[in-house]
Amino acid sequence: SPALYGLSRRELDVALLVAEGRTNLQIAESLIISVRAVECHLSHIFAKLGVTSRAGVSAALRRAGKPDPHPVPAF
């Protein structure tokens, strides 16, 4: 749901791409926005999720029930 942690739809789009391991440039190209816009969205995402890293974004999405795009196989 876009209301996840109060994220806007676009912030959620960016967060999901961050969780896939995409760079700011790759995210910008995928969403047809500027790298500066991606950086701005990331700043808002970090604040809303209470994290300080891209890994923190991925962890927050997992806690919220979003699937991990790169699951580690269980052995």
Domain boundaries, the chain: 4-63
pTM of the model: 0.83
Q: What is the mean pLDDT of residues 23-52?
A: 98
In sequence order, the 6+-apart residues with CB closer than 8 A to the CB of 42 are 14, 18, 24
Q: What is the CA 75 to chain-centroid distance, rounded?
A: 28
Q: Quick: pLDDT tens for 6-28.
A: 999 999 999 999 999 999 999 99
Q: Quick: pLDDT tens for 52-71.
A: 999 999 999 998 887 655 55
At the top level of CATH, which class does the domain 4-63 belong to? mainly alpha
